[in-house]
Amino acid sequence: MQDRRRPRKPLPYAPPRDKLDVAYVDDHLIVLRKPSGLLTTEGRAYGMEDCLLARAKERWPDALPVHRLDMDTSGVVLLARSEVARLQDLVTSKV
Alpha helices in the chain (DSSP H): 52-59, 83-94
What is the C-alpha separation between 29 and 90, in angstroms, rounded? 13
70 is catalytic: yes
Catalytic residue chosen out of the listed positions 26, 70, 72, 89 = 70
Could you tell me the pTM of the whole model?
Answer: 0.78
Q: Kindly report the number of other CB atoms within 10 A of residue 88's CB atom.
A: 15
- Render each residue's pLDDT in the chain as its tens digit; 95 residues: 565 666 666 668 999 999 999 999 999 999 999 999 999 999 988 889 999 999 999 999 999 999 999 999 999 999 999 877 666 666 666 54
Whole-number pLDDT of residue 82: 82
Residue of 43, 44, 30, 39 lying closest to 72 (CA atoms): 39
